Amino acid sequence: MYNAPTEDKTLTAYDSYIDDQQRRAIHNARDGLAGVRVAHVNSTATGGGVAEIVSSLVPLLNDVGIETDWLIMDATDEFFDVTKAIHNGLQGDRREFTDEMYETYRSTTVENANGLDGSYDVIVLHDPQSLGMAPTLAEQRPETALVWRCHIDLTAATPAFLDFVRSYLDPIDRAIFTLPEYGKEITGPRKAVVHPAIDPLTEKNRPLDELSDDAAEAADLDRYPFDTDRPLVVQVSRFDPWKDPLGVIEAYRDVAGSIPDVQLVLVGAMPDDDPEGIVVYREVEEATGDDPDVHLLTNLPDAGINALQRGADVVLQKSLREGFALTVSEALWKGTPVVGTNVGGIPLQIEDGENGYLVEPTDISATADRITRLLDDDALKRRLGQRGRETVRERFLLPRLVVDYLGLLSDVSRSNVDP
């Protein structure tokens, strides 16, 4: 277990994104939660949505006066093979859960729980990777409230994997889901719903003219292998079968039938805890063949992602299953219209025809049709993009998430004192 580094952040910098109600909630929390110590635990410090959220949330909770640490599990590739299989099983993949997998999971999570130093009033365990620490933590720290923050859509979970998760929930005081239906099969802990959010001040999301000098270089789209004067469709996602990169390529080919100069950029990361990344990357590489207008970019700095989400004519999020998809809010915030699939948290962010388009996950021709409509109509693109930015401003910015966490923390720390 090690502490992930975080940047210093202050809530005052977010002032223009905080409304009066949120301001009052933050003010009250400063008194009510003074002295409360919190740890967030997950399995990677970089790549993927959880790291993105926690890296911004932790410094702001500290700024409110809640001593908050961000801890990363120590784990081997073998453990991550198991936890990715669990992730896939929870998203509906019908694979077997073997005794060997169970043993790898159990031993690593127990070791990490034993290796957790420091004293905390609340420990937030993110996703299935760290959930297995709960029984050991509960035994060793009966005074600590344990929260499980599940970022995954569990609505189509394979039963063996759901049972596996359920077997760890006894010591959990609160289970947090992105949508109420994700937790409908979960019984035991009290449940709450918290929508994720993006940080408008990071190098990934701030205006390009406010980037640091180093970051500005990565944001110069002329450095990249595509032509900024031609139509550009972008998907930013881990190389993961659930993000359907092969479906993205099919949709692009369909679009290219009517708009021959269209270009596709797939931006992908391969976080430590996602062993499938390289395998999927190779499949995608093969599927692109020698098409000079399809570009696969990996490990882009945040400012590069920022510039691409802004420079794209259309951002695509063609997931087959999705927890939330921060990438949708990231693009909408930049005024770029998004064509997203009608799965998981995407319809929470996109209202079809209002601030983007929703398509059914396997409907390639509808996907291509919506992309084409947007590429053909600048006024439509602008209108949807502007509304998208408003959606994110109202509902998916970091200060709202901070307030949600403050509510949660006062709730769980109070119920531990006064059950």
Site residues, ligand UDP (CB under 6 A): 48-49, 52, 204, 236-238, 267-269, 300, 305, 324-327, 330
CB of 319 to ligand UDP, least distance (A): 8
Pick 105 or 242: Cβ nearer ligand UDP: 242
Which amino acid appears at position 411 of this protein? D
- Rounded CA-CA distance 343/153 in Å is 9
CA-to-CA dists, residue 349 to 22, 388, 389, 399, angstroms: 21, 8, 11, 17
Which amino acid appears at position 242 of this protein? W
CA angle at 243 for the pair 166 and 228, rounded to the nearest 5°: 150
* Helical H segments across 33-114, by residue range: 49-64, 77-90, 99-114
CA count, 13 A, side-chain hemisphere, 214 = 3
CB of 345 to ligand UDP, least distance (A): 8
CB of 301 to ligand UDP, least distance (A): 9
CB of 302 to ligand UDP, least distance (A): 6
Pick 327 or 413: Cβ nearer ligand UDP: 327
Pick 176 or 269: Cβ nearer ligand UDP: 269
Residue nearest to ligand UDP (CB): 49
* Cα-Cα end-to-end distance for the chain: 30
* Helical H segments across 276-363, by residue range: 277-288, 302-311, 326-333, 346-349
CB of 327 to ligand UDP, least distance (A): 4
CB of 329 to ligand UDP, least distance (A): 9
Nearest alpha carbon to residue 402 among 115, 46, 11, 50: 11
Per DSSP, what are the bridge partners of residue 40? 70, 124
- Rounded CA-CA distance 161/181 in Å is 17
Pick 301 or 407: Cβ nearer ligand UDP: 301
How far is Cα of residue 406 from the mean position of the Cα atoms in its chain? 20
Pick 136 or 235: Cβ nearer ligand UDP: 235
CB of 293 to ligand UDP, least distance (A): 20
CA angle at 197 for the pair 192 and 200, rounded to the nearest 5°: 155
- Rounded CA-CA distance 47/50 in Å is 8
Pick 317 or 372: Cβ nearer ligand UDP: 317
CB of 328 to ligand UDP, least distance (A): 7
Per DSSP, what are the bridge partners of residue 56? none
**Tokens 């277990």 label which residue?**
1
Pick 165 or 315: Cβ nearer ligand UDP: 315
Pick 41 or 66: Cβ nearer ligand UDP: 41
- Rounded CA-CA distance 412/122 in Å is 8
Nearest alpha carbon to residue 160 among 82, 86, 109, 78: 86
CB 372 within 8 A of CB 173: no
CB of 269 to ligand UDP, least distance (A): 3
CB of 271 to ligand UDP, least distance (A): 8
Pick 75 or 116: Cβ nearer ligand UDP: 75
Pick 310 or 412: Cβ nearer ligand UDP: 310
Determine what percent of the chain falls in helix, strand and coil, rounding each to the nearest 5.
50, 15, 35
